[in-house]
Amino acid sequence: MQQSKYRDYYSVLGVEPDASVEHMREAYRFLSRAIHPDRFDPTRHEKDWRLANSRMSAINEAYNVLQDPVKRKSYDEVLFKHAAAINKDAAENARQTKEKAARSKSSASKSHRLENLTPGTAIFGELPRKVQDILRRRQANICQDQMRIPLHSIDWNYFFFVLFTGYFVASFCGAFGWLWPSNLLFFTAGGALMAGILLGRNIVTLFKWHKSVLKPFFYLTPIYLIKTEYNNIVFLPLWKLQNEDVRHRYFHGVYCGTKVRLRVDGAEESLTFRSFAEWERFCQQLLVYKERLRAELLDNNHEYLQEHDDFRGMQRHPGLRKVRFKRSKSCVIYVMATALSGILWSAIALFNIISNQ
């Protein structure tokens, strides 16, 4: 294979020389989507359009060679012969220049190449201290470069806690003045059992909420979509976002929210917006981050990835791993709530019988 001009195809694609074909394919797909000339208006953005054409041509040339095993082997041989043909001083200068460019633009760390930015899950307690601090700042909403969306709150849990507790107060008040018939006793016993179970469920949810460091939030950041819920973390690279399934919900012509389903590299997350303004702000911010990421990659500036990678240096876990509230504790709370409701109902029923004899 002959080359009129030397070009490092591996650097063009942003992969290591020992990268697999799958990694090169992923890098090629992303670069094609990110800096394709069709994304630029040749009239209004002529400079960017010409630069994108030049970069796209180099990317196609590099991928065409490296994805073919025969061409790649031949290219590696040419690369070796090319380096051997240069005298020692020139080769040393070229090496130093290449290393400097790799440090300043491609990446200051091999972990920030495109192929290594993959979706993953994490448990807050197992993360490095630095990553924990970043997530704490994001939860406190003191990070400027983000959009934080609450997933749900515990207001309804407090409401139902008061409601189910009020059931026993109402039962006690209704025990005065008349003797309950057997069918009413059976009915109130069933209500007390149901109230106890639901009360236990709300107590478990409230306990988890106050015990967990991270509350349920969804974060849009410069290079990640991050979901946190009860110390469980899911992070999805923004550059692998494939599509968004959007559904606006209306009831009798009244807007009731927007549900969005995000698909990222085989993973899927759902997000609900309570207002149309919040949904519009999310779309605008998502577009800003996408354009910024595309511009930085167009300029081959991989330092941008290093600067905004909240999970750099962390081992990726492909499967979903969750910290669950210990079943033993949940069972104890459910049993105690149910037993307490039974005791309260028995006391109320006994009081009704004694006071009306």
Domain presence at residue 347 = yes
Same domain, 165 and 265: no
Q: Which of 219-228, 247-256, 281-290 has the lowest mean pLDDT?
A: 247-256
Same domain, 28 and 91: yes
Same domain, 206 and 227: no
Q: Which of 43-57, 108-122, 152-166, 295-309 has the lowest mean pLDDT?
A: 108-122
What pLDDT, on a 0 to 100 scale, did the predictor assign at position 95?
Answer: 60
Average pLDDT over residues 40-62: 81
What pLDDT, on a 0 to 100 scale, did the predictor assign at position 4?
Answer: 38
CATH of the domain at 45: 1.10.287.110
What pLDDT, on a 0 to 100 scale, did the predictor assign at position 204?
Answer: 85
Cβ atoms within 10 A of the Cβ of 297, count? 20
What pLDDT, on a 0 to 100 scale, did the predictor assign at position 87?
Answer: 46
* 221 pLDDT more than 90: yes
Average pLDDT over residues 166-194: 83
Same domain, 343 and 290: no
> Which tokens in the block code for residue 170?
């109402």
Average pLDDT over residues 258-285: 83
Domain presence at residue 1 = no
Average pLDDT over residues 319-336: 64
What pLDDT, on a 0 to 100 scale, did the predictor assign at position 138?
Answer: 92
106/154: higher pLDDT? 154
Q: How many contiguous H segments (helices) and E segments (strands) does the chain have?
A: 11, 8
* 91 pLDDT more than 70: no
pTM given for the model: 0.62
Same domain, 182 and 263: no
What pLDDT, on a 0 to 100 scale, did the predictor assign at position 83?
Answer: 57
**DSSP string of 180-195, one letter each residue:** PPHHHHHHHHHHHHHH
Average pLDDT over residues 105-116: 50
Based on the structure, what is the number of domains in the chain? 3
Alpha-carbon distance 107 to 16, whole Å? 12
Same domain, 269 and 127: yes
Domain range spanning residue 348?
Answer: 155-211+326-355
Domain presence at residue 313 = no
Same domain, 102 and 126: no
* 219 pLDDT more than 60: yes
Average pLDDT over residues 17-40: 78
Task: Burial-class residue 122 by CB neighbours within 10 Å (0-12, 13-18, 19+).
Answer: buried
Name the nearest CA neighbour of 60 among 24, 96, 106, 86. Answer: 24
Domain presence at residue 165 = yes
Q: Which of 253-262, 281-290, 310-319 has the lowest mean pLDDT?
A: 310-319
What pLDDT, on a 0 to 100 scale, did the predictor assign at position 88?
Answer: 53
Q: Which of 23-32, 113-122, 304-313, 316-325 has the lowest mean pLDDT?
A: 316-325
Same domain, 251 and 280: yes
Same domain, 303 and 349: no
pLDDT tier for residue 85 given thresholds of 50, 70 and 90: low
What pLDDT, on a 0 to 100 scale, did the predictor assign at position 3?
Answer: 43
Cβ atoms within 10 A of the Cβ of 241, count? 17
What pLDDT, on a 0 to 100 scale, did the predictor assign at position 112?
Answer: 56
pLDDT tier for residue 318 given thresholds of 50, 70 and 90: low
The proportion of the chain whose per-residue pLDDT surpasses 90, expressed as a percent, equals: 5
Q: Are 207 and 326 in contact (CB under 8 A)?
A: no
CATH of the domain at 275: 2.30.29.30
Same domain, 180 and 255: no
Q: Are 129 and 239 in contact (CB under 8 A)?
A: no
Q: Tens digits of per-residue pLDDT, 230-253?
A: 888 888 888 778 767 788 787 777
Same domain, 136 and 30: no
* Angle, CA of 217, 163 and 228, to the nearest 5°: 10
Across the chain, mean pLDDT equals 78
- Tell me, what amino acid is at 321? R
Domain presence at residue 3 = no
Q: Which of 96-100, 120-124, 135-139, 337-341 has the lowest mean pLDDT?
A: 96-100
- The CB-side HSE value for 158 (13 A sphere, CA atoms) comes to 5
